[in-house]
Amino acid sequence: MQNIRNIAIIAHVDHGKTTLVDKIIHASKIFRENQQFEDLILDNNDLERERGITILSKNVSVRYKDIKINIIDTPGHADFGGEVERVLKMADGVLLLVDAFEGPMPQTRFVLSKALALGLTPIVVVNKVDKPNCRPDEVHEAVFDLMFNLDATEEQLDFVTMYGSAKNNWMGPDWKEETDSILPLLDTIIEHIPAPQIQEGSTQMQITSLDFSNFVGRIAIGRLKRGTLKENTQIALCKADGSIKKMRIKELHVFEGLGKNKVEEVHAGDICAVTGIEGFEIGDTIADAENPEPLPRIAIDEPTMNMLFTINNSPFFGKEGKFVTSRHLRDRLFKEMEKNLALRVEPTDNEDKFLVYGRGILHLSVLIETMRREGYELQVGQPQVIYKDIDGIKNEPIESLVVDVPETTSGKVIELATQRKGELLVMEPRGDLQHLEFRIPSRGLIGLRNNVLTATQGEAIMNHRYVDYEPFKGPIPGRINGSLISMESGPTTGYAIDKLQDRGTFFVDPGEEIYGGQVIGEHSRDNDIVVNVQKGKKLTNMRASGSDDNTKIPPAKKFSLEEAMEYIQKDEYLEITPKSMRMRKIYLDEGERTRMAKKDA
């Protein structure tokens, strides 16, 4: 077992984690010389490539100097913390990657605290030292301070630091002296990351992630803690409720390069995939059939936000999606819960509606985007934070918000955050940027990113992470403007939109098919109004002098999925189909809306 190293790579978003893994893969010659491949090898689903973020953790292994290094690529966003918490159980050490200019960021702190608590050995990699304005030595100090604040042990504080540029394919102990390859980093991993500690006793393996194959069904992945596993032998599956089921292993695979190799037996310390086991969940233990001993289950942080998911019942339902019924929606959400540990789904008293709990807007929006690409049609309600009653006092989730912004617009950011009950803790210059840190309620963050980017001409860099529950901070002002609502169904006309421009901003273009009750724009005042955008110009054979000029309409305002989720109000739904995204009132009929508003009041 001395020739195995298990290492997880953790970093903040955009600090170069997946690029570093690419270079390690190339350095270990997994590909043939003439083989074609793309960059960001591990970000292999479309959503990850489009957004440039890692969403799912993945395993690869490389061989270097006859030692097998199992590498686990982890997400950087706190919203996908459920992924990180379970996969760190497979590692003996972590590569902490930090940007040579930005230094440790809020979400680095989140993942690092989990790794240190598990007693993993850290190696710090200061990346992007080729950037202008970089400050590697200050960043090294900041990482030490962060580890000290996170109660690292003396051994962990005595960490090794490597400097380099993953993009330019070099790493070394001194940032001023460029080396010719990334191999010094692999030497450091072999030297400083301990080989797996093997305990005596019967077989134990915790299932920390799962895979799916159309041929063999669900595959359990985890690290064998002790003992050996052999194919075609009997094991015991220890489940969450304490029950133990006897099962037989069909096949065993270990990770080799970017794929898996079938083996007859796996020894303690290696990461493997097991097929043939039915009905398992993440956190279950595969144990010895005669003497089963379950491992303690993985503790996952609680979700902080929920949203109502319901079937699409708009006038346009079923036109674009394949899966539109409540049974389809229910099955898909419960299937997602099997592998997405931080997600919870609760049925409501209406069989068409489900409450879905997640870590944040991004966590929920990735699920929605994945579903729409699979052909689902659904509607979601306004995101709500989850309140807790602690000692009879209403508590709400609080987050740490970090904004780096040009000095000229920092005042606007402070104003926007404090309006939403944010409390300014730190304000310091960093290069040509102002570094601001706030404590702010989670509900204050809903819709804040859009406002901050508008106020700073898109130059602000915002990051936040969940901290704790604290007593309720009081009401926060929501969206100031009302909605423009369509009166009738049918295609919009440029003539009508042109005549209504002084009413507000439109989200639809001329000629777009819409329905009565759809939100088609933002009113310039704080109340909702119903408008007719189907009205055409009355045509006569008389020409009116001066009034037949061409209409000039500004382009419609378009929203991304997250922006639309943050924009909608309590009485609105977001309708999502594979091709379209529309905002609408829950009650499409104006008379019914008025009745329900009176009832709620």
Cα 23 from Cα 46, distance rounded (Å): 21
Please give the span between the terminal C-alpha atoms of the chain, in angstroms, as a whole number. 68
457 C-beta neighbours (distance < 10 Å), count = 10
Q: What is the pLDDT of residue 486?
A: 92
How much is the average pLDDT of 1-19? 73
71-75, 137-141, 218-222, 224-228: lowest mean pLDDT where? 71-75
In this model, does residue 575 exceed pLDDT 90?
Answer: yes
Q: What is the pLDDT of residue 38?
A: 44
Q: What is the pLDDT of residue 249?
A: 85
**395: its two tokens:** 């508590």
What amino acid occupies position 569?
A: Q
For 365-399, what is each residue's pLDDT tens digit?
Answer: 888 988 988 899 999 998 888 888 888 888 988 88
Nearest Cα residue to 521 out of 493, 557, 488 = 557
Torsional class of 279: left (φ above 0), alpha (ψ -120 to 50), beta (otherwise) = left
How much is the average pLDDT of 466-492? 86
Residue predicted with more confidence, 55 or 210: 210
Output phi, psi for 96, to 5 deg: -95, 115
Q: What is the pLDDT of residue 544?
A: 58
Using 50, 70 and 90 to split pLDDT, how confident is the model at 37? Answer: very low
Q: Which helix (H) or strand (E) holds 406?
A: strand 393-406
Cα 536 from Cα 492, distance rounded (Å): 9
Instruction: Give me the CATH topology for the region 388-471.
Output: Alpha-Beta Plaits (3.30.70)
What amino acid occupies position 454?
A: T
Q: Cα dist. 299→77, 221, 304, 582 in Å?
A: 18, 18, 15, 38
Average pLDDT, the chain: 81
Which residues are registered as beta bridge partners of 123?
Answer: 95, 160
431 C-beta neighbours (distance < 10 Å), count = 13
Q: What is the pLDDT of residue 378?
A: 92
Q: Cα dist. 485→134, 510, 522 in Å?
A: 50, 15, 9
In this model, does residue 237 exceed pLDDT 70?
Answer: yes
pTM over the 0.75 mark: no
**Three-state secondary structure string covering 310-355:** ECCCCCCCCCCCCECCHHHHHHHHHHHHHHCCCCEEEECCCCCEEE
What is the three-class DSSP state of 525?
Answer: coil
Cα 466 from Cα 304, distance rounded (Å): 8
Q: What is the pLDDT of residue 576?
A: 92
The two counts, helices (H) then strands (E), for the chain are 15, 35
Q: What is the pLDDT of residue 13?
A: 64
Q: What is the pLDDT of residue 56?
A: 52
Q: What is the pLDDT of residue 48?
A: 46
90 C-beta neighbours (distance < 10 Å), count = 24
Instruction: Give me the CATH topology for the region 4-192.
Output: Rossmann fold (3.40.50)
Q: What is the pLDDT of residue 77?
A: 57
Cα 59 from Cα 71, distance rounded (Å): 6
Q: Which residues are annotated as a binding site for GTP?
A: 14-19, 127-130
For 143-195, what is each residue's pLDDT tens digit?
Answer: 888 888 888 888 888 888 888 887 888 888 887 777 777 888 888 888 888 88
| CATH 2.40.50.250-classified regions of the chain | 483-539+550-566+584-600
Q: How many alpha carbons lie under 13 Å from residue 96 in its C-beta half-sphere?
A: 30
How much is the average pLDDT of 473-488? 86
Q: What is the pLDDT of residue 311?
A: 92
For 402-452, what is each residue's pLDDT tens digit?
Answer: 888 888 888 989 998 998 888 989 888 876 778 888 999 988 888 888 788
Superfamily of domain 204-288: Translation factors (2.40.30.10)
**Burial 499-530, CB ≥16 within 10 A → b, else e:** bbeebbebbbebebebbbbbbbbbbeeeebbe
In this model, does residue 51 exceed pLDDT 50?
Answer: no
In this model, does residue 82 exceed pLDDT 70?
Answer: no
81-95, 358-372, 513-527: lowest mean pLDDT where? 81-95
What is the three-class DSSP state of 445?
Answer: helix
Q: Would you say 558 and 520 are in contact if contact means Cβ atoms under 8 Å apart?
A: no
Nearest Cα residue to 179 out of 160, 165, 161, 199 = 165
How much is the average pLDDT of 32-42? 42
Q: What is the pLDDT of residue 42?
A: 44
| CATH 3.30.70.240-classified regions of the chain | 388-471
Q: Would you say 574 and 568 are in contact if contact means Cβ atoms under 8 Å apart?
A: yes
Instruction: Give me the CATH topology for the region 483-539+550-566+584-600.
Output: OB fold (Dihydrolipoamide Acetyltransferase, E2P) (2.40.50)
What is the three-class DSSP state of 291?
Answer: coil
For 311-323, what is each residue's pLDDT tens digit?
Answer: 999 999 888 889 8
**428: its two tokens:** 């310091």
Q: Which helix (H) or strand (E) holds 439?
A: strand 433-441
Residue predicted with more confidence, 492 or 2: 492
Question: Which of 105-119, 295-309, 508-522, 539-553 has the largest mean confidence?
Answer: 508-522
Q: Which residues are annotated as a binding site?
A: 14-19, 127-130
How much is the average pLDDT of 78-102? 75
Cα 165 from Cα 294, distance rounded (Å): 43
Q: What is the pLDDT of residue 32?
A: 40
Q: What is the pLDDT of residue 31?
A: 39
Using 50, 70 and 90 to split pLDDT, how confident is the model at 39? Answer: very low
Using 50, 70 and 90 to split pLDDT, how confident is the model at 337? Answer: confident
Cα 532 from Cα 53, distance rounded (Å): 42
| CATH 2.40.30.10-classified regions of the chain | 204-288
212-216, 228-232, 391-395, 499-503: lowest mean pLDDT where? 212-216
**545: its two tokens:** 């002098």
